[in-house]
Structure 1
Amino acid sequence: MEPAVDARGRHLERSALTALLPVVALLPFWLLAMVVIWLPVRLIVDIPIWVLPLVWLVAGSLLFIPSVQVAVLSPLFGARQPTEEEQAIIAPIWRDLAIAANLPSYRYAIRVIDSDELNAFACGGHLVVVTTFALEELTDRELSGVLAHELSHHLGFHTFALTVGHWLSLPVIALARIGFFFQNVARAATDSFVSHSAALTALGRIASGILYAISWVFLAALYASDALGNLVGHGSEFEADRRAVRMGYGRALADALRQVIRLGGGTRTVGWRARLTTSHPPARTRVARIEAMMRHPSQ
């Protein structure tokens, strides 16, 4: 591990701010979803229109409590506690990382996903998830580089906007799915029960078309928010790489990325559509940048 440049402590990085752009783009559609949900709710409980969004935001704020975060997000991602064997691998690496970042190791929780992908990710504000394949295929040194990168996401507050965006997207996703469901029901009912009447058939198809259009409004908002998130997310990956280098884990991270390339990943996306659906920069590009940063640490 190369000598570390001081990169300790948490501070707000530029990509944490640009990551708010997808949240801002999604916000009007979330508010619209809240209104749509409020309309039937008020028939049961007479509440002001502002109560439902406020309750949703307060409930979302609980996700930033570490214990709640781990309890809610771990099952959501299908993650579990490490086994004794896995913990024996993770614990000493994480202890050294905490020392390098000048943080208590207990501030963050490590969870494991049973997967045959070489992957790890940071979520919430205190959770790091790593796959079993990464634990099996990477050396301890390479794994330390990967975990340093994920810790760097937390230290730069990169995961804050992502968590908020995911929480706001839930009612939008729900309404899109409900809309498509009722659109299918309306179309099936029209074909089955009123096909003998031209007027009723037209009415059923109009209802089906309206539901379809409403569903696509919410779905398009999700696609646009995700695409914008992928575009600005590349900056957070480069910033996390930079901090990992400054912590002294640059060569370990570069070697881990070379493993990704060896297993068939790291190819450059071709075309703007592919770039909009890719959340990470190419591994080869990241390796080149990491090596450049190690050659010129002051830049």
Structure 2
Amino acid sequence: MAPPAPPAAAPDADHRYISTDQRRVHISAHQRRTDATAVGNLLLYLPNFLASLFVVTLVSAFFGGLGLILVLAWLVSGVLVFHRPTESAVARRLLGLRYPTPQERERLEPVWREVTARAGVEGRTYELWIEDSDDLNAVAAAGHIVGVTRFSMNALPSGELAAVLAHELGHHVGGHAWSSLLGYWYALPGRIAWRVMRAFGRIVFKVSRVFSCFGVGFVLLVFGAFAFATISTLYGLPLLVLALPYALAAVSRRAELRADQHAAALGFAPMLATVLDKLHQADQQQALAARAHNGGVPLQEPSALSKLLSSHPDHHTRLHHLQPYLQPSR
């Protein structure tokens, strides 16, 4: 059963505000789905997963008979993404979030009820969290976390706050939040091993310099042979890791556009456009402040390569994709 269409706003209504009168929620049959963005994100993490599996298997070999148990335990550990106590630890320790106070709940819950009512989603499935920050921001994480900054909660009118929450709900409904955390978790052993090897390589390189160029050449030869053996054994798969950050960033940008479309389809397109304008103005003010701090000299523009690593689309791209929802109905 599809969620009901959002109620039409009066022609002269101020879109910054919405009615938050409690009403019946028509729950849709499918609370979540895994869209193409979530699937693509998981597939892109596959090389990192295989590298992590190799690292975990290598480490577990030192534990004899317990090694297989350790590998299996790591493989099933991904279910913790949906474990509520683990999610709470992620929210507190990694994201710096906290539970809302009773006064903050009075502010958030009516707006959240309106968002979930339009989406046909059971609002109690998710937990609202607060970030003590003066930035305009929000986050969707793990399986049930929806976080919003204190500034967003206090400074945004109800309509704009609803647009922000609807955007984050879009990440959950589309599977973006859990797939990102799951991919990050299974890539972690490989990343840790890479950092350890890189630190060890720096130490060895510095020590080898003491023993002249011969020592440096020997170290480069050993590491080069190891790299060649790894790449040839795994059929060049490690080379894909070099391109992964760019591919993951592209998928992340697509996920942001999907979440924008989710909020717009619920009737929050004008409010979301206003929030995007505020974010754009805040970025411009930061750029002006940085320029003033730099003695009035304009800062260097980001390179085309660095833009490819951005996790969010630029302001104009997001507004362009909202245009179909901002056109007046005929």
Counterpart in the other structure of 2:43: 21
Deviations 1:139-175 (A, max 9, x none): 2221110110100111121223211111012112211
What's the secondary structure of 2:45's corresponding residue? helix
Which of residues 200, 203, 207 in structure 2 aligns to 1:182?
200
What's the secondary structure of 1:94's corresponding residue? helix
Counterpart in the other structure of 1:245: 264
Q: Which moved more, 1:253-262 or 1:129-138?
A: 129-138
**Unpaired runs of 5+ in structure 1?**
none
Deviations 1:77-108 (A, max 9, x none): 22222234433322221122222222332211
Q: How far apart, CA to CA, are the structure 2 residues paired with 1:231 and 1:120?
A: 20
* Cα distance change, pair 112–44 in 1 and its aligned pair in 2 (3 A): same
Deviations 1:175-214 (A, max 9, x none): 122112222333454456xx49x87776567667779999
Using the size of structure 2 for normalisation, the TM-score is 0.73
Q: How many angstroms does 1:218 deviate by?
A: 11
Which of residues 190, 194, 202 in structure 2 aligns to 1:172?
190
Identity across the alignment (%)? 26
What's the secondary structure of 2:283's corresponding residue? coil
* Cα distance change, pair 297–265 in 1 and its aligned pair in 2 (3 A): farther
Q: How many angstroms does 1:68 deviate by?
A: 2.5
Deviations 1:55-85 (A, max 9, x none): 2121121222234222334311222222344
What's the secondary structure of 1:128's corresponding residue? strand
Counterpart in the other structure of 1:224: 243
Indicate conservation of the 8 Å contact 1:21/1:229, yes or no. Answer: no
Q: How far apart, CA to CA, are the structure 2 residues paired with 1:141 and 1:211?
A: 57
Q: How does 1:37-48 map to 2 (within 5 A)?
A: 38=59, 41-48=60-67
Counterpart in the other structure of 1:260: 279
Q: How far apart, CA to CA, are the structure 1 residues paired with 2:240 and 2:152?
A: 34
What's the secondary structure of 1:70's corresponding residue? helix
Q: How far apart, CA to CA, are the structure 2 residues paired with 1:265 and 1:219?
A: 39
Query: Are residues 1:3 and 2:8 paired?
Result: yes
Q: How many angstroms does 1:257 deviate by?
A: 0.9
Q: How far apart, CA to CA, are the structure 1 residues paired with 2:110 and 2:186?
A: 37
Q: CA RMSD in A?
A: 3.7
**Corresponding letter in the other structure for 1:33:** V
Query: Are residues 1:54 and 2:59 paired?
Result: no
Counterpart in the other structure of 1:275: 307
**Unpaired runs of 5+ in structure 2?**
1-5, 10-25, 230-235, 288-300
Query: Are residues 1:117 and 2:135 paired?
Result: yes
Q: Which moved more, 1:232-241 or 1:252-261?
A: 232-241
Q: Which moved more, 1:136-145 or 1:117-126?
A: 136-145
Counterpart in the other structure of 1:150: 168
Q: How far apart, CA to CA, are the structure 1 residues paired with 2:8 and 2:255?
A: 23
What's the secondary structure of 1:279's corresponding residue? coil
**Corresponding letter in the other structure for 2:257:** F
* Cα distance change, pair 113–101 in 1 and its aligned pair in 2 (3 A): same
Counterpart in the other structure of 2:112: 94
Q: How far apart, CA to CA, are the structure 2 residues paired with 1:218 and 1:121?
A: 32
Query: Are residues 1:295 and 2:314 paired?
Result: no
Using the size of structure 1 for normalisation, the TM-score is 0.79
* Cα distance change, pair 210–133 in 1 and its aligned pair in 2 (3 A): farther
Indicate conservation of the 8 Å contact 1:10/1:156, yes or no. Answer: yes
Which of residues 44, 50, 64 in structure 1 aligns to 2:82?
64
Counterpart in the other structure of 2:316: 284
Q: How does 1:194-209 map to 2 (within 5 A)?
A: 195=211
**Corresponding letter in the other structure for 2:173:** L
Counterpart in the other structure of 1:235: 254
Indicate conservation of the 8 Å contact 2:81/2:178, yes or no. Answer: no
* Cα distance change, pair 206–73 in 1 and its aligned pair in 2 (3 A): farther
Q: How far apart, CA to CA, are the structure 1 residues paired with 2:73 and 2:91?
A: 19
Paired residues, number: 288
